[in-house]
Chain A
Amino acid sequence: MSAFHFEGLVWHWPIAIYLFLAGLSAGAVFFAIMLKHFKLASEAYHSPFVQAAAIIAPLAVFGGLGILVIDLTKPLDFWKILVFYNTTSVMSMGVLVLMAYQVALFAWIGCIFHQGLTRLLDGRFGAIGRLSTRFIQMLVRQEAAITGILVILSISLGAYTGFLLSALIGFPLLNNPVLPLLFLISGLSSGAAATLLGGVLLRGNPNGIEVRFIHGIEIPMILVEIGLLFTFFAGLILSGGQSQVAALNALGYGFWGWIFWGGVIGIGLTLPLAFNLWMKVSADRKFTYVAVTASFSLIGVFLLRNFILYTGQMTGV
């Protein structure tokens, strides 16, 4: 049995990338909102980290949806998913959340950068420009509502990436109540990492309040993630039967065992945790430090998505 091709495999790596990007987008938005709310307030628009999140979040969600559409066997019929609904389908509900999320996302970006946008439109584009300015002003008045809705939607989107897989009742490793929570938390941490990486690349201060704030949340989040991973597999092993076989198969041997222990646990969780703890004592954060830690988290989450998707489909009941 090879690692990427085996009997019973239905969903391949494009789905893992889609799940990764959707979670990342949700996470980036979530942290940008937290940054604005707790630290930056009206200064948010000129923080490179918030700017990075505002660029990454839409790109990631478009990229993810694009991959999802291309992966259909009939990509040109994708509009049928938008027109026909099935309330019992996690995918159908998820697409709805994704659509609402994108609307709220752009409304929020409009609010945050309203000064710049208004200046850009000022006296240009005639009637359309004036109309857009009015629209942006209207958005700014509703900012609290938009932010609240966007927080709810981003958390729903993060959890949806897990529910999509946990609805597959034939695979004990996927049909697991901890999975949505695990994907939500790891999605949030990938969003945090992408925001940090994008921020320092946009010449944000690697020692600024934004980095300190996000790193402060990162340690508890990594600990929660480790706890969830432990619960996930301990639960499977204690269930016995095929669940146990599936868990031991995934963790025990071969390619995916290496990916899990080396990639997900080692690079993705242990190293960022170690870096973070070590950084607490020594004060100054440098560009390389922030960039490397963030890249490690991103790699870890990306590998986790692939690991769960592939090993999950290996053992049916």
Chain B
Amino acid sequence: METSKRQFLKGCGALIAGISVYTVTKSPLAENANTDASQTEVKYAMVHDENACIGCNACVEACRETNHVPDGVTRVKIERTGPFGNYPNQSYRFNRVSCQHCEAAPCVRVCPTGAAYIDKDTGIVAVNSDRCVGCQYCIAACPYQVRFINPETRTADKCDFCQQTQLSKGLQPACVLACPTQALTFGNLKDPDSALVKLLKTKPTYRAKVDLGTRPKLFHIQTIDGEVML
């Protein structure tokens, strides 16, 4: 009995040793899943002004074109509620639905391969297509339901603030440039002189589902149009 106990303990020891080796070999991309990247110089965020938005969908089309998003899926949606009031004084509310670039991103936390990751230098939540196996765990984990499988690459896809297509060329995201009413403002949260920070300091904003602890970086300026809803 004594020897078998000792063997059992040895086995457990081996198991623990194995687990610690595993911790060391984990993926470098996944490492920063929830660490606070507050040391960096750049942290991108976006504001959608629901008062200025007219629901024209120019942002959606520009995104599709710039990022080659296939038909049937989209990185950004403008959701419309209403109409409120009586003709001819009818109004709608518009709400931008796209990746919120969560600071504590559930999609990044659950991804088994580290394909979903937070870019340390910009705070952008992105997908490394080469690593993605298409398990769809991230799609189920995202409380904002903005991720999808791109039918062409067969990997997870979503808004990345045009990281590859526009930011790398020093341009603003495609949706921001396309918006006819300047309802979208994109910029660096760490830069006190940016239009983004100035806007955030002058108007009250809200963010969706903050109670889940995701710390999203897509801000909304609420419309005062329409009617009081409970």
A interface vs B, CB < 8 Å?
Answer: 8, 10-11, 72-74, 77-78, 80-81, 84-92, 95-96, 100, 142-149, 152, 167-170, 313, 316-317
Q: Report B223 CB to chain A, min CB distance, Å.
A: 22
Which of B79-87, B106-114, B194-202 lies on the face that meets chain A? B106-114
Check if B212 sits within 8 Å of A89, measured CB to CB. no
Check if A74 sits within 8 Å of B113, measured CB to CB. no
Check if B27 sits within 8 Å of A85, measured CB to CB. yes
Q: Which of B111-131 contact A (CB under 8 A)?
A: 111-114, 131
Check if B111 sits within 8 Å of A86, measured CB to CB. yes
Check if A86 sits within 8 Å of B8, measured CB to CB. no
Q: Report B152 CB to chain A, min CB distance, Å.
A: 11
Which chain B positions have C-beta within 8 A of A86?
26-27, 30, 33, 111-114
CA distance A169 to B142 in the complex (A): 8
- 18 A-B residue pairs with CB within 8 Å: A10-B136, A11-B136, A72-B134, A74-B155, A81-B112, A84-B131, A86-B112, A87-B22, A87-B30, A89-B109, A89-B137, A90-B110, A91-B112, A149-B12, A168-B140, A169-B106, A169-B143, A313-B140
Q: Report B187 CB to chain A, min CB distance, Å.
A: 28
Given contacts A80-B113, A152-B15, A168-B140, 9 further A-B contacts (CB under 8 A): A73-B149, A73-B155, A77-B132, A85-B112, A88-B33, A88-B34, A89-B112, A91-B112, A169-B143
CA distance A119 to B27 in the complex (A): 45
B5 at the interface (CB under 8 A from A): yes
Chain B contact residues (Cβ within 8 angstroms of A): what range?
35 or more
Check if B114 sits within 8 Å of A91, measured CB to CB. no
Given contacts A80-B131, A95-B112, contact A85 B30 (CB under 8 A): yes
Which chain B positions have C-beta within 8 A of A96?
22
Which chain B positions have C-beta within 8 A of A143?
4
CA distance A167 to B144 in the complex (A): 15
CA distance A5 to B112 in the complex (A): 26
Check if B30 sits within 8 Å of A88, measured CB to CB. yes
**Interface flags, B135-162, vs A, CB<8A=1, else 0:** 1110111111100010000110000000
Q: Which of B88-103 contact A (CB under 8 A)?
A: none
Given contacts A90-B110, A148-B8, contact A170 B142 (CB under 8 A): yes
**Total number of residue pairs linking A and B with CB closer than 8 Å:** 128
Q: Which of B150-204 contact A (CB under 8 A)?
A: 154-155
CA distance A168 to B27 in the complex (A): 22
Which chain B positions have C-beta within 8 A of A100?
15, 18
Q: Which of B20-42 contact A (CB under 8 A)?
A: 22-23, 25-27, 30, 33-34
Which chain B positions have C-beta within 8 A of A147?
8
Nearest CB in chain B to that of A96: its residue: B22
Which chain B positions have C-beta within 8 A of A87?
22-23, 26, 30
Check if A144 sits within 8 Å of B8, measured CB to CB. yes
Which chain B positions have C-beta within 8 A of A316?
143, 145
Check if A145 sits within 8 Å of B114, measured CB to CB. no
Which of A81, A89, A95, A144 has the most C-beta atoms of chain B within 10 angstroms of its own C-beta? A89
CA distance A80 to B135 in the complex (A): 11
Check if B113 sits within 8 Å of A88, measured CB to CB. no
Check if A74 sits within 8 Å of B110, measured CB to CB. no
Which chain A positions have C-beta within 8 A of B66?
none
Check if B11 sits within 8 Å of A149, measured CB to CB. yes
CA distance A148 to B14 in the complex (A): 12
